[in-house]
Chains A and B, each alone.
Chain A
Amino acid sequence: MSRIVFFISEAFRALRRSAAPSIAAIVTIVVTTMLLGVLIPVLHASESKTQDVREQIGLRVFLFQDASPDEIKKLEGQIENIGHVESADFISKKEAVKILEGRVSGDLQKSIGELHGNPLPPSFNIKLDDPDNINAVRNDLEPAGQSGKPEPISPIIEEVNDARQESNQIRQVTGAVKVVLGVIAVLLLVASLLLVANTIRLSIYARRREVEVMRLVGATNWFIRWPFMIEGVLVGLAGAMIAVGILILGKVTIVDPLAESFALVDNFSTVGFAPLVIVLIASAVLVSALGSGFTLRRFLRI
């Protein structure tokens, strides 16, 4: 117990007596934590937007105009039983018109009203669990018949539309975006770690003589290491707290007002602020403390 008190007081003594390296370490941690605090939500939002786009890839199954409700019901059951199908939404003729009206405007919208009857077919909108399974689902909807030509699983299916061209492009682009985002995230993490590790190295290197003397006076490695690690915890905590303070300030003054006036910003589904803050503080403390402990190893071999 008295030993713990001793280690903590040693850590505070080190912070007090070698203020310059400690401040450098704290500043580094503030900068990297802020960087991560801003970029993690941005990356996450981009990633989830990409995912949204991918999820819109689906199949449209157009039915014949004269399909009866019973047949439609039966087909819905069949479709939902196909593997990889997440959901199948039925869109009636009326709904199709509404959707069309929502998409067009002006003269075109008027002309829809002038149509005699409703030319739009009823259809199913099939959502997939993963856009990459689109071909498998399509094959299940239209398995190859005896002649080798695809034959729909139901007589009421007029056409299965998978917008092959577009969906393939979307898949490629979003796939590339995902990879790029991943690479950026990894680079960012590595850069932050190296930056913090380097600063810690410098601050310990400045005190390597001291460590040597402690060894020569008969201190065990852990006796020397604990104060350094507690110091690392304190430095990490201080740095992360300052960074989080700035992030909260930024959120309240910049992001929140924007989110109120622009639905767009609000729509981004991103990581919650509280979990983000907790993760940032915890990792800053962990990296700083472990970094101190590991760096010290080199000087404990005397």
Chain B
Amino acid sequence: MALLGTSRRRDRAGAKPRRRGGRERAPSSDHRPPIVELREATVVYPGGHVGLERVSLEVERGEFAFVVGPTGCGKSTLIKTLIREVDAASGKVLIAGRDIQRISSSKVPLLRRRVGTVFQDFKLLPNRNVYDNVAYALQVIGEPRSEIRRKVPEILRLVGLQAKIHNYPDQLSGGEQQRVSIARAFVNHPPLLLADEPTGNLDPVTSIGIMQLLYRINRTGTTVLVVTHDRDLVDKMRRRVIALEEGRLVRDQASGLYHEESTSEFAMRMRAEMGVGDEGHTNGDPAT
């Protein structure tokens, strides 16, 4: 699994992320199915509340896309559907061309290992320190201990938490906890990373740090799908925006202002546009 992710990452590292809008798609050289594909997907919660209503969308490999909309619009439902925390009532949900509604519940863990997920409330294990929290994602896939010892410090360096490796979650700030959460989601190098309101509980400066980190991960070839209600942040990021309202897809467009930039250029621009100063701890240039 991790190997698959790594090779994909290498594929993408050289190639330019495709520049495309929701509908006008540049002819693709590889014929692999899109990493995320929803066809008329409808999700109904017990009690009748409709989470998603006939939503169809595709996310290509290597993309960085936002899902926006007001509270209750179905953003989080979309994420939950993609890791089968909730089931679609009708329609199809495909991850890398595979219909995840049809995999048996005993195989669901395998899906979740290939899709890294970052949650608004971090969902760290409270009685494990930073190292063990990240290591858990490797332990569940049966990674040998020597590999874990190598990979965990590496990923913690990437998110800038190498100094807090032995701290427990309650000893970390919100931004630091979110970094641990991202490290855990990305340590397997999954082809797809979902982030549900990753900056929802964080201040603007910390938010930029988190976005910078997600951008860096995206540049390694991983598709990143970020759910947020922070329109301001989204506008500045200039990436594809998928807007939901009351469970329906109302807008799906790429930003015309998109251009290639390095992680540090990205961070500088973001800080300048949002009018905040230097974050204090920069992580330097992308490690990969």
* Interface residue ranges, A against B (CB under 8 Å): 2-3, 6, 13-14, 17-18, 209-210, 212-221, 223, 302
Contacts and interface: CB of A to CB of B under 8 A. Distances in A.
B145 interface: yes
A296 to B, nearest CB: 15
Contact of A218 (B123, B126, B140, B145): B140
A217 B136 contact: yes
Interface stretch (B10-18, B56-64, B93-101, B110-118): B110-118
B288 interface: no
B136 A210 contact: no
Nearest to B142: A3
B85 A216 contact: yes
B137 A217 contact: yes
Nearest to A207: B127
B125 A210 contact: yes
Nearest to A2: B145
A216 B83 contact: yes
Contacts of A219: 109, 136, 140
A213 B137 contact: no
Contact of A217 (B110, B112, B126): B112
Contacts of A218: 109-113, 137, 140-141
B127 A2 contact: no
B127 A215 contact: no
B214 to A, nearest CB: 18
User: Contact size class for B?
Assistant: 20 to 34
A14 B127 contact: yes
Interface of B: 83, 85, 106, 109-113, 117, 119, 123-128, 136-137, 139-142, 144-145, 184
Contact of B125 (A6, A213, A223): A213
24 contacts: A2-B144, A3-B142, A6-B139, A13-B128, A14-B127, A18-B127, A213-B124, A213-B125, A214-B136, A215-B109, A215-B112, A216-B83, A216-B112, A216-B119, A217-B136, A217-B137, A217-B184, A218-B111, A218-B112, A218-B137, A219-B136, A220-B109, A221-B109, A223-B140
A17 B127 contact: yes
A133 B238 CA distance: 96
A3 B143 CA distance: 10
Contacts of A220: 106, 109, 140
Given A3-B142, A209-B123, A223-B109, 12 more contacts: A14-B127, A210-B125, A210-B127, A212-B123, A213-B124, A217-B184, A218-B137, A218-B140, A218-B141, A219-B136, A220-B109, A221-B106
Contacts of B126: 209-210
Contacts of A18: 127
Nearest to B117: A216
B127 to A, nearest CB: 4
A13 B123 CA distance: 19
B80 to A, nearest CB: 10
A236 B163 CA distance: 39
Contacts of A13: 127-128
When A and B form their complex, which 7 residue pairs have the shortest distance between CB atoms, in order from nearest?
A218-B112, A17-B127, A218-B113, A219-B140, A220-B109, A213-B123, A218-B109
A246 B139 CA distance: 41
A224 to B, nearest CB: 9
A64 to B, nearest CB: 84
A6 B112 CA distance: 21
Contacts of B136: 214, 217, 219
Contacts of B141: 218
A33 B106 CA distance: 37
Contacts of B124: 213
Contacts of A2: 144-145
Contacts of B111: 218
Nearest to B126: A210
A227 B76 CA distance: 31
B10 to A, nearest CB: 23
A60 B142 CA distance: 77
A218 B111 CA distance: 7
A14 B140 CA distance: 17
Contacts of A213: 123-125
A217 B140 contact: yes
Nearest to A18: B127
A106 to B, nearest CB: 78
Nearest to A217: B137
A215 to B, nearest CB: 7
A76 B137 CA distance: 82
A220 B119 CA distance: 20
B190 to A, nearest CB: 9
B123 A216 contact: yes
Given A217-B184, A218-B109, A218-B110, A302 B127 contact: no
Nearest to B139: A6
A217 B83 CA distance: 10
A223 B145 CA distance: 16
A210 B109 CA distance: 16
